[in-house]
Structure 1
């Protein structure tokens, strides 16, 4: 174990067989160097040293990149990049406390941290935190240190990136926080993950792990789930996102508003099915009512037509008809027949159709006897 903190396995000939500096976990120490292809992995949560979702790597393309996905990573996934394509080769943490990227010939290309602290007065470390932020810490080596810093580890460099909530803008993915949650900077400029109303943390020991719905999801018939949505109003446009929600973040400078669909009460799928049953009954009742109204109107129309038909026939029977000169046929009223037969006094005989009387009718041309 060297004073630098590098643990080395050597052969009998003092040849380095393996060392921790070439197999980093989540941090770098002074005098440590990372060549192309070497990766640093953030821990999973704060107190769990399993590999998390954030990484930094000196890529084969020459860029030092921070990204929140596993290999192989895409350029679109990076949330901080050194912009040293085709030239970056080695990341160095020197004795003065600076972290920088150099070319293959040793030329300095990019300063990652700016502050300097002598190693004879301070312990130093640079770490990729579990929340994806790269920071540098120092610790005074003794009480007689000339530093004005209080005893203990203190953060001395700017965060990289300064606002990870806004830096991660993947097309798909969970963002700085997990799915169904949103990221907001805390008082210490560290990202904090929150659940929106109606949601609870998926893992109480790790706020970065996302949130879950604290209510029964919607369904159409109790068995087939209906897609939940989240609506975003930005720049006079309404955008729609489906569950699970991704890339959530809060920023006062953003000109936008999010509307998240949440069930009012925690009803079950069974009650949802009953509601659908009631809806079906309402539809059936409406159809029957409409059919009843139609039948009533139809009956009223038929009754009216029958009434008009009888009225028309009665009108024809009561109206006297003039003689048809072509057929010599004429109809008479009962009063006219009484006058013609002298009050029905001239009976001629009786038959199957009634009694026959003799009478005389007056006419302009001649007299007709019947």
Structure 2
């Protein structure tokens, strides 16, 4: 019995003994020199991982990387590194101090160190999971590589919001985006988990890589949101690692533990599943996805037209800095995505891709150079010559000479061919006239769909997303390199003339716009009496459904949405080549994308103004409760009508109630705009949000938004601010003044 107890006790001591051996010589003051015979400072107890210096593979360098790697695989696959920006030269020293790890070059210059440990470090360990940990006297972790990841995650690694590496952005979603070096300019994310939730209890807190190869976001309510496929890989048979590769694909790899081959890594799953479909929106990832014309010598195909002080403000996708003018030209020439490069400030190169929109002359650019890529003349790229029949007389002479010089059979064949050709020409010309008659004042980057294609896309128009006065919106799925959800708006055809006007108006307006707070149109269909528009799908529905269907969304999100709508309207009113008045701003026309960004939709009621126009007269447009008083007074209509509607909408966002609720027992609350002013005047703003704790804790911004809303709903449009002034007040650039009473007769207008 004593022997059995001794054996059991001995077995329990084995891991501790092995652990002691692995850290035996690593005490405060210990050091390791790069380039010595043994560049490994320590190994994990099971021998799977090693920590130390790895020599970089470039033949012309003698530099080293402080790393953790798989020790039993011949190619020493790296899973963590410290000093990628400042490689350590031969003779550099790594030292363990009470402040942590310090890496210096042979001259004593510091290359890298662990930050914020303030003398708390007393020991170090590399555990079997590959986590390198610094501990204090009480064996508590004070720093670890699992909390400071680079491009690889290992099984059991948990990454919190504040500890994720540069390629992740973890708030309540997981995003991947590219960063332009050396400028640090961040592109739009090319992948997102779509896990945003306005409910704080559902917000993501941790990114977890479990021991079986699964990856998920853990929310505050302990709910798991899986990012990977449902899999279970045996960790007794395979090494596992998740790595963000150079092409932007995040991939789970496995490697047999009993294999000595360095080629043993195989893919289990990856996100995104097809990076080529994402490179359409992010031009950094073009390897394997590039256009066919990308060649080693693009100067044979393209040249640059040089312009001065021209800009397309919303087409940037890369900032390269510091760059010379020649670097800028060359970079754009070698990039198949680059249509224009703008060289500014003597060292900044902004690359822009199609579609170029909102182009303008801007003297404020102070002589910046624009390099516009244009195709050189090249006969091999020209289409084949077209035979043109100049006139009827010469045609008859040609036909007669052929007929009389040929046999009867050939004559018949020729006559038949001529008849077919003639009918084809007439049909073609007819179609061409129909196309030319269409009022497409848009850049032709919209896809033209066949009606049958959209019918199939929507499964026979079976899933309705919403409807309005001019049509019904259906959900559909199309394939544009990958399966993509879309919203198909089918316009009513009971009044073809009105539908035609609506269709062309909406197509023209949306085709001319490009802004992150506007819904993007993908294409259209014009088939006999049917008119349809295809939009990007907005996964989180309308603002109305968010505000009025139960629990209030968080205050921060509501503020974010209010800002987004204002910026979208500013673009429509002042930043488009053609000024646009929307005329129907309301919660049902504000859609929410994957990240709950506000996107203005439904331009069917928009009124287009030329840049030299500021007002127009028209029949009443809009929705009751949101219509500005000037519509009823036969007054000129300006962009201030949208400001009025925005003010009503802003008060709805603040209070999470509809602007008109006539069923309320308290009639004083029936009209939101009047009640909001009464609450403000009487110092009773708590009632407006019904004790919304988050809003009341942010009292300064809460009061400011209410005041801005009251300014926007002034009956006199001359008192109302412009949307630019509204945006400046929201951003705190312009001081918000005390508003006057909107109007004693606002009620009769609001109830329209």
Q: TM-score, normalized by length of structure 2?
A: 0.23
Structure with the greater alpha carbon radius of gyration: 1
The answer to which structure, 1 or 2, has the higher relative contact order (CA under 8 A, 6+ apart) is 1
Q: TM-score, normalized by length of structure 1?
A: 0.44
Structure 1 or 2: more helix by fraction: 2
